Amino acid sequence: MDVRHRNHVTVSGRPGGPVVMLAHGFGCDQNMWRLVVPALERDFTVVLFDHVGAGNSDLSAWSADRYSTLDGYVEDVLELCRELALGPVTFVGHSVSAMMGVVAAVQEPEAFAGLVLLAPSPRFIDDPETGYRGGFDAEDIDELLGSLDANYLGWSGAMAPVIMGNPERPELGEELTNSFCRTDPEIARVFARVTFLSDNREDLALVKVPTLVAQCSSDAIAPREVGEFVHAQIPGSRLVTLDATGHCPQLAAPEETTAAIASFVEALA
Amino acid sequence: MRGCGDEEDAEAETDGAAAVGDSGGRDSSGDEAQLSALLEDSAEDLYEHAPCGYLSTLLDGRILKVNTTLLDWLGYERDDLLGRRYFSDLLTVGGRLYHETHFAPLLRMQGEVSGIALELKAADGSRLPVLVTSTVRTGEDGQPLLIRTTLFDARDRRAYETELLRARKEAERERERLQRLAATLQKTLLPPILADVPGLNVSAYYHIASADEVGGDFYDLFPLAEGTWGLFLGDVCGKGAAAAAVTSLARYTLRAAAVYNPDPVAVLGNLNTVLNHEYNGADPRFCTVIFGLLTPDPDPDRGGFHITLAGGGHPPALLMRADGTTDYLPTPGGQLIGVLPDAHIATTAVRLSPGDTLLLHTDGLTEAHVSAGLDSEDRYGEDRYGDDALLDFARTLAPTTASDTVDAIRDLLDTFGSGVDDDTAVLAIHVPRPPSEEQQ
């Protein structure tokens, strides 16, 4: 198995510089980082990849078995670190990928120089027993799955022939403009479940590598109190609240996001 | 960093709309004024009462401007929304998750997103399915300033899509039902088991080209008067239910006719008469058949069988001798059954000795397309397998047995894949060597 091909890995930037590995979250692919990469490339070696099932990853490597829990993704990250052999990396995980970084760093701390958790949430669903508030209930997640389905159905007229079953004409799917976030509906459903139904709260306290928690000032998906929870649970972690709003600061406020990542990585050196 | 500049630009957006609206009252003659009044070409009015919802927001989604249509759909007052609420606040929670993980990132990356299905939540809690398209408006320096969004009422469309899905599922169920029906009908047209003929090894195979249609091939092997057996293999012109009716008629006619008079020429002659009577109108139905009368050699020491074959326009039988000699057994001059009032039927007689194998087949086998792949227009090439290739293939098998022959033909058909576009039936009979000769 060629993991570089499997995860459509690209390595760029300053050779020999500190290694920054950028991991995209649920929804799109490594294009999510396009606004922060140019600035990071000046000082760092930048590793980009697509999770299996997303972007230009090898779809034949996807199986519901391996990727219906976070563990399959965590294994992929660790395999990438080993295979690329670039030394300890600073892993920047956005959204669900933040928890992949947490679990990977707990399993193999020596592979990581540091963790940047960008808009993280260890659990999206409220847990009344412990008083934890993730911001959502199980019905909300079902509703998201409904939205996913509706958009594979209603995703512009160009999709209609594809919907009606036209496997012999794959080019019909290629015409879509919204291709960065195009995912096989089956894969998207499974990844949505992994993202929104995982609970990694207990992993947080086990993190031993330097960690930056970077949350947005107003984020409908990962509210501020969730970021504060992550910060409180990870020993010695730092918390930065970005001015950026929404769930994707790397797109909404690329300069601010780049600055937060860069200053953290430089402080590690 | 962003905030202040956006607010100013947002005001510019509002002012701009008003300015365009004012220009509606320009100088014009009486007719033109009347026409323009009829056209309601006030930009303001077009905006406010457009048949779709309009929304302008800051880049972070805060609502700056909203038209009356959308306010009416949602049951909000303008002041409920302006500057206070974000676009994603108008969505269901699931829709909000989709917005944050797909819609917003795409919009940032592409500058526009079109035709996304989302659900709005109205003030009274009711839901409204919409199709959302957004574009980012940029300033002169290319900096993104704000987001313009149109929302189309998608209630009918959503219902239509649900109906499409339902119809597709139903069509799939119907197709399965049809295939089950076709398979069942096909089975009833073939003998469940072939008669056991002492001293003869028999094997047959029916290849179905399409699961959706009943094919027109048929065969049988059955006992006649003491010590004689009849066998036939044929192909009705056409496919589907009409062909199946002829197949059924041909099959039972052949069996009954053979009891009445087992002479192969008489059997096919009677079938010809029946088909002529039945289908002599505008819808002629005909078939090709080979019929054989099988009798054991009266000398038990010699073993083997005599077979008399009568052909009505059917591909000739193939005889594979015990010594490996292989050739067709032509019945030249035999005419299609069911076309002419007095079809000419040709016969041939042969002795099957121990070790010999006789193969009957329909032309689905020799008419199979064998050119590799499809041409540029997605059509199969004109290369067919052909009689010569089948003869060469049989020569590589001989000497052989009935079951080995049929197995080899099955494998051969598999290599043709979808090149076999017609049903194919094969029937092989073989006279085993006496056990004393088996070792040779």
The model's pLDDT over A76-135, given as tens digits with 9 standing for 90+, comes to 999 999 999 999 999 999 999 999 999 999 999 999 999 999 999 999 999 999 999 999
Q: Any catalytic annotation for residue A219?
A: yes
Between the alpha carbon of residue B242 and those of residues B69, B213, B239, B247, B339, the distances in Å are 59, 11, 7, 9, 16
Report the alpha-carbon distance of residue A5 to residue A50 in Å, rounded: 10
Res B162: pLDDT:
77
In a domain, A70, yes or no: yes
In the predicted structure, residue B57 carries a pLDDT above the cut 90: yes
**A63, pLDDT greater than 60:** yes
Residues near B308 by Cβ (< 8 Å), separated by ≥ 6?
B264, B292, B293, B347, B348, B349
- Angle at B333 (CA atoms; ends B332, B336), nearest 5 degrees: 115
Interface confidence (ipTM) of the complex = 0.84
* Chain B residue whose CA is closest to A35: B109
pLDDT value for B23: 45
**Mean pLDDT value across residues A27-52:** 94
- pLDDT value for B351: 95
Q: Is the pLDDT of residue B400 over 70?
A: yes
Q: What average pLDDT does range A183-200 have in this prediction?
A: 86
Helices A70-84 and A96-107, interaxial angle, to 10°? 60
Chain B contact for A185, CB < 8 A?
no
Name every residue whose Cβ is closer than 8 Å to that of residue B275 and which is 6 or more positions away in sequence. B246, B249, B250, B285, B286, B287, B337, B338
pLDDT score recorded for residue B40: 61
Planar angle of CA A189, A191, A196, nearest 5 degrees: 95
Q: What is the pLDDT of residue B209?
A: 86
Mean pLDDT on B134-146: 92
Residues 112-171 of B with CB under 8 A from A: 112-119, 129, 131, 154, 157-158, 161, 164-165, 168
> Domain extents for chain B?
3-153, 190-437
Q: Of A161-170, B153-162, B375-384, which range is least confident?
A: A161-170
Residue A221 has its nearest CB partner, among B59, B100, B165, at B100
In terms of C-beta density within 10 A (0-12 exposed, 13-18 middle, 19 or more buried), how is residue A191 classed? buried
Q: CA dihedral defined by A264, A267, A269, B1, rounded to 10 degrees?
A: 50
What are the b/e assignments for B193-229, b being 16+ CB within 10 Å? ebeebeebebbbbbbbbeeebbbbbbbbbbebeeeeb
pLDDT mean across residues, chain A: 87
Nearest-angstrom CA–CA distance, A87 and A91: 12
Measure the CA–CA gap between B219 and B429, rounded to whole angstroms.
13
Query: Sorting pLDDT into bands at 50, 70 and 90, what band is B164?
Result: confident
**pLDDT for A202:** 96
Quote the pLDDT of residue A177: 46
**A156 lies in some domain:** no
What mean pLDDT do residues B98-127 have? 89
Global pTM value: 0.59
Q: What is the predicted pLDDT for the residue at B382?
A: 64
Least reliable range by pLDDT among A53-62, B79-88, B127-136, B378-387: B378-387
Would you say residue A154 has pLDDT above 60? no
Q: Which of A178, A189, A191, A196 to mutate to test the interface with B (most CBs of B within 10 A)?
A: A178
Is A163 or B398 the better-scoring residue by pLDDT?
Answer: B398
B14 pLDDT tier (thresholds 50, 70, 90) = very low
Q: What is the CATH number of the domain that holds A35?
A: 3.40.50.1820
Closest by Cβ to A144, choosing from B97, B116, B154:
B97
Beta strands in B142-216 (DSSP E): 144-153, 201-207
Q: Which residues of B46-73 are buried (b: 16+ CB within 10 A; e: fewer)?
A: bbbeeeebbbbbbbbbbbbbbbebbbeb
Q: Which segment, A6-15, B239-248, B332-341, is predicted with the most confidence on average?
A: A6-15
- For residue B175, the SS3 value is helix
Domain, as residue range, for A228: 3-125+198-268
B94 and A CB contact within 8 Å: yes
Strand, helix or coil for residue B8: helix
Q: Which of residues 192-231 of A touch B (CB under 8 A)?
A: 196, 218-221
Beta-strand runs (E) in chain A: 10-13, 19-23, 45-49, 89-94, 112-118, 211-218, 238-245
Q: What's at B80, amino acid-wise?
A: D
Domains B3-153 and B190-437 share a fold: no
Give the pLDDT of residue B255. 94
Q: Is the confidence at residue B236, as pLDDT, over 60?
A: yes
| Residue B69 pLDDT exceeds 90 | yes
pLDDT on residue B16 = 42
B375 or B340: which carries more pLDDT confidence?
Answer: B340
Interfacial A residues in 49-88 facing B (CB < 8 Å)? none
Instruction: For residue B267, name the pLDDT band (cuts at 50, 70, 90).
Output: very high
Q: How far apart are CA A67 and CA B101, in angstroms?
A: 19
pLDDT at B437: 62
A180: region left, alpha or beta (phi > 0 left; psi from -120 to 50 alpha): alpha
- Tell which CATH classification among 3.60.40.10, 3.40.30.10, 3.40.190.10, 1.10.10.10 matches the domain B190-437: 3.60.40.10
- Confidence grade of residue A170 (pLDDT, cut at 50, 70, 90): very low
Q: Residue B267 belongs to what H/E stretch? A: helix B264-278
| The dihedral sign for the CA sequence B418, B420, B425, B429 | negative
Tell me, what's the pLDDT at B278?
81
What is the structure's pLDDT at B120?
A: 93
Per-residue model confidence as pLDDT tens digits over A213-267: 999 998 888 999 999 999 999 999 999 999 998 899 999 899 999 999 999 999 9
Residue B298 pLDDT class (50, 70, 90 cuts)? confident
Q: What is the spatial distance between Cα B285 and Cα B243, in angstroms, rounded to a whole number?
A: 8
- In the predicted structure, residue B156 carries a pLDDT above the cut 80: yes
Report which DSSP code applies to B209. S
DSSP 8-state code for residue B23: G
The answer to whether B60 contacts A251, with C-beta atoms less than 8 Å apart, is: no
Contact B98 A221 (CB under 8 A): no
pLDDT tens readout for residues B118-132: 889 999 999 999 999
A75 domain residue, yes or no: yes
Amino acid at site A243: D
C-alpha torsion B350→B356→B357→B360, nearest 10: -10
Which token pair is A132? 């934890």
Q: Is pLDDT at A198 greater than 70 in this prediction?
A: yes
**Concatenated DSSP letters for A45-112?**
EEEEE--TTSTTS-GGG--HHHHSSHHHHHHHHHHHHHHHT-SSEEEEEETHHHHHHHHHHHH-GGGE
Is residue A8 annotated as a catalytic residue, yes or no? no
pLDDT band (50, 70, 90) for residue B285: confident
The domain covering B3-153 belongs, at the CATH homologous superfamily level, to: PAS domain (3.30.450.20)
Number of domains present in the structure of chain A: 1
Q: Which of A28, A163, A221 lies at the smallest CB-CB distance from B97? A: A221
Residue B181 binned pLDDT confidence (cut-offs 50, 70, 90): confident
Per the annotation, the verdict on A247 as an active-site residue is: yes
